[in-house]
Homo-oligomer: A and B are copies of this chain.
Amino acid sequence: MQFAMQPERHINVVELESLLDYGFRDHSLLLEALTHGSYQLPGISRCYQRLEFLGDSVLDFLITSYMYNLYPGMSPGQLTDLRSSAVNNDCYAFAAVKAELHKHILHASPLLHEQIKNFAESFGKLSLQSTSGWGSETTVPKVLGEFIESLAGAILVDSGYSIETVWNCIRPILEPLATLDTMKLHPVKELGELCQRDSYENKTSVSYVDGKASITITVEANGVSYTATHTGMNKKDCKEISCQNCVGEVESKHDKIIVASSKLLSLQFGLAIQSSN
């Protein structure tokens, strides 16, 4: 027993078990999965992060297997992009709020409280379409997605490593999973592919000021320079947002002429086909 205290005193076991459609043999695992590092009470010795470590990998494996079987004709590259689009923290965070799991998280951080509250409030206003990707300027509290993983880890351990049980419990929460039509490329990958395709140079510079990371992405596109900078606590998030914004810059300004001329071309091509019929 990791938790000497009675789990039922801290979490609503009945509601959570109904939400997950799973009855825990060991309620202390459920408590561990929902306990943030800031929530310290005597008898509570550890937080959700070990279960998150485990749950992260079981969810990756389950979604990978699912996609492997669902799309027998899909190329490995497409499968990888599709998986990245479904197996990512933002997706999990949206799923957590949709299932109202955020109400059950045990923490004692005023900052986290504010972030979760803001995110949950803005969640209703965001369309599902815009929530399946990365690089959103709305701060997605990372911890929310991580709790989906820690819950998956808790069910895995509690069920004696039954991956089927984990899938049956977590899949409904994650639905709808990304499909070829709804998937979005990761911004860092999107920028990389854009630059490689068009032989643009790109530079990333990182600096730290007062413990915050500041990431600047610069793309040199045929003599024109595009730059995007983002500063924040999390370097990875900053890179994603900078890349997302830089791709947006390049696409909206630089590619305008190219898109316009290619549209003209397809219009002409369409007319040519029409006239030949």
**Chain A interface SS verdict (over half):** helix
Residues in B whose Cβ lies below 8 Å from that of A207: 201
User: Known: A60-B60, A201-B206, A205-B204. Contact between A49 and B65, CB under 8 A?
Assistant: no
Residues in B whose Cβ lies below 8 Å from that of A199: 208
Interface residues of A (CB under 8 A from B): 49-50, 52-54, 56-58, 60-61, 64-65, 68, 74-76, 79-80, 83, 156, 161, 163, 192, 195-196, 199, 201-208, 235
Copies of this chain assembled into the complex = 2
Taken together as a complex, chains A and B put the C-alpha atoms of A15 and B79 apart, in Å, by: 31
Residues in B whose Cβ lies below 8 Å from that of A195: 206, 208
A54 touches B64 (CB 8 A): yes
> Smallest CB–CB gap between A51 and chain B, Å?
9
A49 touches B76 (CB 8 A): yes
Taken together as a complex, chains A and B put the C-alpha atoms of A203 and B204 apart, in Å, by: 6
A206 touches B203 (CB 8 A): yes
Closest to A192 in B: B235
Taken together as a complex, chains A and B put the C-alpha atoms of A208 and B201 apart, in Å, by: 7
Taken together as a complex, chains A and B put the C-alpha atoms of A87 and B206 apart, in Å, by: 27
Q: List 9 A-B contacts (CB under 8 A).
A: A50-B68, A50-B74, A52-B76, A53-B64, A53-B80, A54-B64, A58-B64, A196-B208, A201-B205
